[in-house]
Structure 1
C-alpha cells in the first residue's frame, strides 16, 4: 500500500519500532534491514542478484548492487552507510517497497530495465539526499506527485518507458539541481509546465501532452529538448524560442503545431525531421514556405472593406439607364465594369459546367453498379468456373466466415442480406451491421482516439479474415475513418477489468512497425478489439498469392524494406521483454508506403487466457494442430500440407516458457520466404544447417533458389543474396541458443544494401 502524507508519520514510527525489534535478534545495521525489506517485496529474482543479501552480515556494504560510504565528522572514524543501490537489467519483478525511501543517506537509485510494477511509494520523495533516480523501462504506473519538489538535491530523473499518467508536477522544473529529466514513453497529459531554468536535457516525447507551448517555458540552459509525438497545438511563440540557446537540439516533430516557425537561431539550426509531422507548420528550416498575407495597405484608398467572399459577388444590375452629370443617358453597365451580356454568358457557362459534372457522376455510378452486382443469396458459393482451378485464400475465408458468423456466441456483428464480391479485391465487400448488445461498453486505451460506441454501431464493415477463434472486419465510420475490428469468439477472460488490463498492456507498446490498438468493446457475449486499419493487406494475401507461392509483385528492394520493418518491430517487442509468439505472413501487414506493420501482438493472452505463456506445451501443440488443420492456415506454401507450423520454432511444442528465440525462428522462415518465394520445409533447412553448407561453392545453389520474380535483379549481387540467405538460416536454426537476437539480426540487415 502506498503511503499518503497524512499517515506517513505513523508509518515511520511503526517502521522504527520494527527495526529496533529486528536489531535485537540480528547484528545487521538499519540500512541493511531496510534493504532486506525491499528484497522480500520482490516476487521474482531469476538471476539471483539478491542472493547475497542475508541477515548474517553486519553491514550490507558487500551485497551485490549496494555501495556504502563512510559517514561522520571530518578526521574521526565514521559509520559506513548505504549511499547507492544499482540493480539495472536484473529482471526483478515486484513493487518498490516503502522501506527503500527510508534509507537516510541514499544518493542513487538505479533499478532501470526490470519488471517493477505498482506505483512509487511516497517515502521516495522524502529522500532529501537523493541525487539520481533512474527507474526507466519498467511497468510502474500511477501519478508523479507534487512531493517530487522535496527532492532538492536531485540531479537526474529518468522515469521513461513506464506507465505513469496524470499531469507533470509544476514543482518539477523548480528543483535547483535538476539537470537531466526523461519522462518519455509514458501517459503524461495536460499542458507543458513552465520554469525549466536549470534543466539541460529534457525528454518528454511519446506522451499525451496537449495545450500550447508556454511563453514562460524557460530553457536558457538546455542542450537537448524533445517534445515529439505529443498533441501540442497552436503556434510556436517567439518568447518560447528565443530563450533556447542556438546550439540546442530541439525536436518538436509529430505534434499539431501551426503557423510560421519563429526566426530564432535555435530553430533555424534544426534538421527538418525535428519539425516534421506538423501539417500546418511552415517556414525555415522546413521546405514549406509560409504564404505572405495580403494587407489593407496595398488596397486603394477607396477600396471596399467588405470580406473577400462578399466583395467578389457582382452587385445587382440596374434596370433603368442612369444619367451622368450632364443629363446624357449612359449604357446599362454594372459598377464592376461588366456588361449584362458578359454576366449572362458567365452564368450560362456555370450552369453548363454543373450539368456536365452531374452527367459524369451519374455515369460513374452506373459503371460501379455494373461492376459490383448484388448477390441475392449470402451463402452462395463461389462461382465454379471450369477455367478457374483454385479459389483465392480470401475468397475461402469470406465464404467460410459467412457460415461461421451465425454460429459464434457473440452477437455484436451481424451479416446483412446483401453482399458484393470481386476477385480483384483483397477484402470481401460483404457489408455487416455492428449491433449493440445490452450492457456493451467501449473503452479507448490509447489516450488519443475519439470514438463512441454509437458511432461504431453505425459503421459499415467488410470481412478481412477469419481464424479459429475470431473474425476481423474493416469498419468504415460515417466520417470516413477506417478501423480493423476483431470480434473474439472464444473469449476465456470473464472479468472486464482483467480484459482491460491485458488490452492496456498491449496498447502501451507503440512503434511504427506495430499495429496501434485504439479501443475495445466489452459486452456479456461480445468482445471487440479496435485497431488501425492497414490498407494494403498482409504479406500472405498481397497480389492474392495465387497458387500459394510467395510470387510477390515486389522488387528486391521492396522485400528487403519489409524484412527490415519486421525486424524493427520484433526488436522493439523484445526490448520491452515481450514475445509475439505467432509471427507469420498473415500477421505482417503492409501500409500505404509498403512498410511492414506487425499485427496480433498479445492476442493469445485474450483468446486463450495466456495458456501459452504459462508454459503449457501440450496445450500449445493442440492449438497449433487445430490451426494447421484449418483452411486458413494454408496461405504461404507451394504445398497444401504446409501450414502455420512451418513458422513455429521446434521447441514451442515442449513444456517451456515463451522465448524471444521463438520469434527469431519465425522471422528466419519469413526472411527466407521473401528471398526464395516459398516456405522452406524442415528437411530442407536441416540440409542447409549441415557444417560448411553455405560456402563459396554453394553460391550457385543459393542463386538458383531465388524467386523467379526477382531473378533479373539479383544478377551481380551474389554477396547480397548469400548474406540474406545465411541470416535467414541462422535465425531459423533448430538450436535456440545459436540463433541471434532480433537486435543483432536487424544490425546485419541494415548492412545489406541492394541499390
Structure 2
C-alpha cells in the first residue's frame, strides 16, 4: 500500500512538472510574441514623436509653439505645424524653421527616421556647435544652415555618399579648416554651394560638377582670396608672374569666346546680314552671361523688325514707307521718342518668359531704360481695333498704374513698351528676397501695397466700364514696386485683344471659380483675383503651389486659410516676416477677412469692388483692439 502511494505521488509530481513545463513554454512563447510587438512598435515611431523630440532638443522654441502631441504635422498635403512642409501623402518632406530665434545644437540623429525629408532650412537662427552629420538624414536634397553660429572644422569626408544633394548653404557661420573635399567629389547633382562668410583656409577644391551654377566662397581665408580682381569686384587686375589657377584660365577662355561671339554678332548686325530664322522660345540664360543676354535680345528684336511678312519687310525698298514701318507708335506725349533701331542698339537683357511671351530690359543710348514685352497671342481683333484699344489704354493715367508708353504692331506678334521699374515685382519681394538674404516686407508696407492696388483697380473700373474685367490678369508678378514701395499695376485691359482660344490658359481671370464652373467671367472676377493677391501678401504663400495640387483653382489658398483654426491664424497663416506683433493684429485680421470674402466662390455672395476699396481704406497700421476680441467678428 505504501509502495502504491509512492507511485501515485510520483505520477502526480510528473504531471505537475509536465503542466508546469507546458505553462512555462506557453509563457515563454507569449513573452517572445510580446517582445516582437514591442520592438515593432518602437520601430514605427511616428513623425509627431520624432519632431517633438527634435523640438525638445532646442531652446527658445516659441516660434514652433503649435507643435503639440494632440495634432499631427501633416494632414494630406496640408501642413498643421509651423515650418513643416508636407508631400501629397501627408508625410513631412521639408522643415523650414527660418528666422525663429532657435538656439542649441542640431541633432541629426533625432531626424534620421523622417524617411521622406528632402529639404531642411534652419537659416537665420542662433544654432551653435559643429555641423551636424547630414549623412544621417537619408537622401536629403537641400540644406540651408546659413546665418547661424555653427563652428569648427568639417571633416574632409563629411559629405561622402550624399549623391542626392543639390543645394548646400552654410554661409555666415564660423567654420574653420579646409573646405571638405567630399563637396567636390561624388556630388554630381550639386547646383548651389554657398559657404561665404566663414573662416575656411587652404586651397579651393577642384569643383567639376557640370550643373554647379551658384558658387560663392568669398570672405574666407582661402589662398588667393586677397588677390581677387576684375568682374564684380571692381578691382583692377595687375600683372604678376604667378601662374594663374586652372579655373581662372577656364573663366578667361570663356570670357574671350563670349566677347568674340558678341563682336561677330555686332558686325553681322552693322553689315545688315540678316538671316531669317525659325521662331523659338527664349529662355533666360544664367546670370553670368550678360554679354550673351545682350546679343540674344538684339537678335530677338531684330527678328521682330525683319521677319518675313512683317510690314517693314514687305515694304523694303519703298523708301520712306519702309522707314516709317520701323517706327514705334507712342501713346504718350511726355516720353522721349525713339524707334526700333534705337531698341536694337540698346544695352539690354532678357528678364524672363511669362504666359504671353518674353520680356526684355533695354537701356537706350540716350538714357531711358524701358521694358519691352513681346506678345504672341494678341489677334482677337483686327489692326484698326487693336490700335484704337492701345490708344485707349495709353490715355489712362493713375499713380498706381504703370503707363503704356508705346507699342509695335505686327499681325503675328506685338511689342508693348513701358518704363522699367528698378525695384522689381511684388512676387520677387514676397517669395525671392529671403533666398537672396534680403529683408521681408513689413506690415505697413504690405498694407500700403494693398491700398495702392485697390485704388488702381477702382480707377480701371471707372475708366474702362465696357470691359467685363478691366484688369483680367492681376497677380503678384504684375504688381511692380517703385522706390518708395508704391505699387504699379501692369498688364491691365488686355482681355479684348487676347486670342480667346488661348485666354483660358493665359489670363488669371479665366482661372476664376465662375469660369471653371460656367465658362463665364463677370465684373466681380477681378475682385476674386484681388482676394487671392491679398491672401498671398498676408501669408507669403504662392497661390500656384495650391493650384499645382490639383484642387481646381487658386481659390484653394482661401480654402487652406479657412481650414486653419482661427486661434492658430497668427501662428500658421500670417507671414512672420511682417513683424509688428500685437499692436497690428486687429487690422491684419480685418484685411485677411476682406481677402477671404473676395475669394467667395459664388459670385452673388462675393463683395463688389466698391465695397472692397471702402473697407480697405478704413484699415490702419495700428489698432486699439484688445487681444480678447480679435477673433470675435
TM-score normalised by structure 2 residue count: 0.45
Pick 1 or 2: higher relative contact order, CA cutoff 8 A, min separation 6: 2
The structure whose residues are more often helix, as a share, is 2
TM-score normalised by structure 1 residue count: 0.38
